A and B are shown apart, each in its own frame.
Chain A
């Protein structure tokens, strides 16, 4: 009997028609995911889970003071785990029952658990995170490929997040030398996050209302139980109502890019489009009228590149960066048309944006200097080149 419905569904679904497999688009998108992973900027959909200890309550009315920074000593507060469900191992606190964090947001309790690569919930080789709110149910679970690799060496923590309504969960995989993190919100509240090990990886995380903006995350470095006094700071790109996007980490002596914003917009036919570039300590982020947010976590955009903005299924502006000295970028689109754009300055960067139609993507670009001489050209590869100088 089941096979009858199976066959009916099969026959019905075979009447659905669709275009050819967009292999190149998928690969470009895949490379972009890989690039984002490598540079630790996650601007899209992701997972959830968490770890919180020390200051498990996040409420607008209860600000907690930052913990004292210790030097080469065993900080007893770091032996606390979520719900007391941790044990001390040589590499740090080890979670039990897959639980890596718990806490409260106002009156809502939450727990974060990680499903290991071998669990039924996990994709092959991936780790899945789930955050349960009580009351409130679960935040969307997403499975990620193993996060940290050698290219993440400059990032003490690699973050991913997802939201459910007005709350979001942020999960981070921490490097071996991260002792703890201090997350500071604009209203002064702080969270102290201590990595907890699950399936051999160290996790930190939190749950917070999207209305609360993260000012900074400071990673105290040293070892699992004592810090050396060294820190690294990440200032996320965080707009009210949105999930924070983490990009650059600043170490001692490093200067962050200046804060600046630039709106580029226009009207194509009856369609108004807009792309806003935000430069700041996170790098450079582009927010478009078609709903795309994409961040490039580098200190300077020194290469001409068409970074992103297309392929969302909706017509939207694509955006990019121009190398110093580039006065005009001519972009060839997949429909055979060309778009000529003049870069504009935002902070230390020169950026541009141009409209694309639905299903239209940029194919190649040519850059010209002020005298009209071609200075560079290339195919469009989504994302900012990882190996750019």
Chain B
């Protein structure tokens, strides 16, 4: 039995929801914002689902919307303002669920970074985008990506007990 566009979208969203929320969480550090961001991205994909399907890579489409939407948000400082304005809720939402100490530590450290540095880390080292792709996604120069990555990783190295050698290597690699 063939599936219609609606059923295809349902399956796509059901399957990719976790990844998109995690991406949005990694960018925003707040589960509430993350779910809002991801839902809005899927909504926009649904609004143009015919074209998105034809393009053949709906995952990339939604991911791009999440990144763009986040970029617009942090440019407008909306996220920061909203976090400050509703601190109790935000903190409650931002707390990762209890897990291994190291994992919570890394997320906490990630949340300490500024929006752009956090985005660079997420795009460069979690999504494995190249420096050029990261620069294009964040609408900045490759040099900015390098410098932001360097600073971000240095901060992560200071504030986490992650493998120091690995982080050092990455910093050097990022500056190369």
Residues of chain A at the chain B interface (Cβ within 8 Å): 1-2, 4-6, 8-23, 25-34, 37, 45, 120-121, 123-126, 130, 138, 140-143, 145-146, 162-165, 313
Contacts and interface: CB of A to CB of B under 8 A. Distances in A.
B119 interface: no
A6 B39 CA distance: 25
Contact of A14 (B22, B48, B64, B139): B22
A13 B75 contact: no
A33 B97 contact: no
B96 A15 contact: yes
Contacts of A14: 22
Given A30-B44, A30-B49, A142 B68 contact: yes
Contacts of A140: 71-72, 75-76
B120 interface: no
Contact of A124 (B52, B76, B100): B52
A310 to B, nearest CB: 13
A163 B72 CA distance: 10
B47 A30 contact: yes
Given A1-B166, A5-B170, A16-B22, A124 B51 contact: yes
A141 B167 CA distance: 33
A304 B167 CA distance: 60
Contacts of A162: 72
- Among B9, B54, B64, the most chain A Cβ lie within 10 Å of the Cβ of B64
Given A6-B128, A13-B22, A140-B71, A124 B14 contact: no
Interface residues of B, number: 68
Nearest to B16: A21
Contacts, number: 165
Nearest to A27: B46
Contacts of A22: 35, 39
Interface string B8-45: 01100110011001100110000111111001101111
Nearest to A28: B43
Given A8-B106, A15-B96, A121 B35 contact: no
A10 B125 CA distance: 10
Nearest to B53: A124
Given A22-B39, A33-B47, A37-B47, A2 B68 contact: no
Interface in B81-110: 96-100, 102-104, 106-107, 110
Given A4-B163, A26-B39, A9 B18 contact: no
Nearest to B35: A18
A21 to B, nearest CB: 4
A5 B126 CA distance: 7
A17 B162 CA distance: 22
Contact of A15 (B6, B48, B104): B104
A13 B19 CA distance: 9
Contacts of B44: 30, 33, 145
Contacts of B97: 15-17
A125 B51 contact: yes
- Among B35, B36, B126, B163, the most chain A Cβ lie within 10 Å of the Cβ of B126
B39 A25 contact: yes
Nearest to B65: A123
B122 interface: yes
B47 A34 contact: yes
A12 B96 CA distance: 9
Contacts of B96: 12, 15-16
A59 B167 CA distance: 52
A123 B61 contact: yes
Nearest to A165: B76
A29 B98 CA distance: 32
- Among B43, B69, B98, B162, the most chain A Cβ lie within 10 Å of the Cβ of B43
B143 interface: no
